[in-house]
Amino acid sequence: MTVTFIDSGVLVAAARGVGELSEKALLILEDSNYKFASSEFVKLEVIPKAVYNQKTAETRFYQTFFSAVTHWANDVEQIMQDAYNIGCQYGLAAIDALHIAAALSVNAEEFLTTEKPTKPMFRVTGIKIISIFL
């Protein structure tokens, strides 16, 4: 089974259920050939807004996903140090650097995102970055 770190954009696309991007995201999230990796950073990116805006179904979707995650990036201090280095080396924005560092910390084989392949995160080595962007 492939250990895949799911970026927040993939979760948002799947949860909101509109269009081809959502369909791609849902197919992956429902595929039993994957083991999912995540972090508190991803949780922080998706759940609070859904809760605040009273999007109960969307919140439930995220909670269901997070309950199925088997690889949690827990060493926040180390992840932050690594994210700083990754950000400096590859020119990543803070949250992207945190997500990549978290994925690397749990030895994820893939990082699944909705970002365009022209984004700086695709420069990172040591993990396969896959975009489901249309």
Tens of pLDDT along 69-96? 999 999 999 999 999 999 999 999 999 9
Q: How much of the chain, in percent, has pLDDT values that exceed 70?
A: 99
Longest CA span, the chain: 39
Average pLDDT, the chain: 96
Conformation bin of residue 83: beta by default, left when phi > 0, alpha when psi is -120 to 50: alpha
Is the predicted pLDDT of residue 134 greater than 80, yes or no?
A: no
| Domain ranges within the chain, ordered by starting residue | 2-131
Write down the pTM of the prediction: 0.94
The model's confidence at residue 18, banded by pLDDT at 50, 70 and 90, is confident
Q: Which residue has tokens 């249309």?
A: 134
Topology of 2-131 in CATH?
Rossmann fold (3.40.50)
